[in-house]
Amino acid sequence: MNPTPDSPRTRRAALALGAAALLSACSAEEKGRSGDRNPPGPGPGAAAPDSPPSPAAAAARRPADIPGLGPRTRATIGARTRQALVVTGESADSNVCRAVLYERHPALGWRAASAVWPARNGHRGWSGHHLQGDLRSPVGTFTLTDAGGRLPDPGTELPYHRDPIYTLGGRNFEGEPKAGAFDYVVAVDYNRYPGRTPSDWGRPLGTRRGGGIWVHIGHGGGTEGCIGLPRDRMQELLRALRRAARPVIVMGPADALAR
């Protein structure tokens, strides 16, 4: 015989079920207040919200450096400099090199602003202690503040000194004519006073340490210490350089620049 809904047995069973439900609800509430000691983890493939970025992701977000320059060389470029002409020689005794103009962007870092230009340096290569007449280009980072040439200003923001004094004749070491090499020049601020014309012969380190180091139009061979660029690339450089960008030239053989 089944108990009726109002029988004592039925009432006792209902009270027992209600108490069990109440205890279960209280236990769940208490667990919620104290915190779940074993919360469910992220689903498959989900990244932990506070995990550090991978080295590759961190490197991708870091502003880019100029390729080929080591920490010592990078440290010579001022924090406010936003243009750098990097001239990289093949070796310490080679007069064949390449040049690339870089610009620094606030978020992206350094980016190439030109193609790779063929260039020539000192006839005997490079020197970390340039001397007058050694036919080597000085290694280092130097500001670019003044320009000039025999021809009219092609449109540079640098102070431009036009003068017949930049007329050049004769032949170079390999027999190539030097005529027109100084039609456009940018003075490299090695052993000179920035803010003066490229033709100024003031030498703060003394005449023994040489001077008159320029970027000029190449004549097809090694130079007496300057950097030679093709004529159209020289015009491109002059039009690209901006005074407000505090341009520099970083020059030397590849192994020296990588330090």
Which of 123, 130, 161, 216 is catalytic? The answer is: 216
> Any catalytic annotation for residue 219?
no
Cβ atoms 246, 82 nearer than 8 A:
yes
Start-to-end Cα distance in the chain: 99
Chain center to CA of 227: 21
CB atoms within 10 A of CB 234: 24
Which amino acid, 117? W
> Any catalytic annotation for residue 226?
yes
Which of 97, 123, 130, 226 is catalytic? The answer is: 226
Chain center to CA of 228: 23
Cβ atoms 130, 138 nearer than 8 A:
yes
Distance set, CA 82 to CA 79, 143, 148, 242 (Å): 8, 12, 22, 9
Q: What is the 3-state secondary structure (H, E, C) of 83-149?
A: EEEEEEECCCCCCEEEEEEEEEECCCEEEECCCCEEEECECCCEECCCCCCCCCEECEEEEEEEEEE
Which amino acid, 77? I
Active site residues: 216, 226
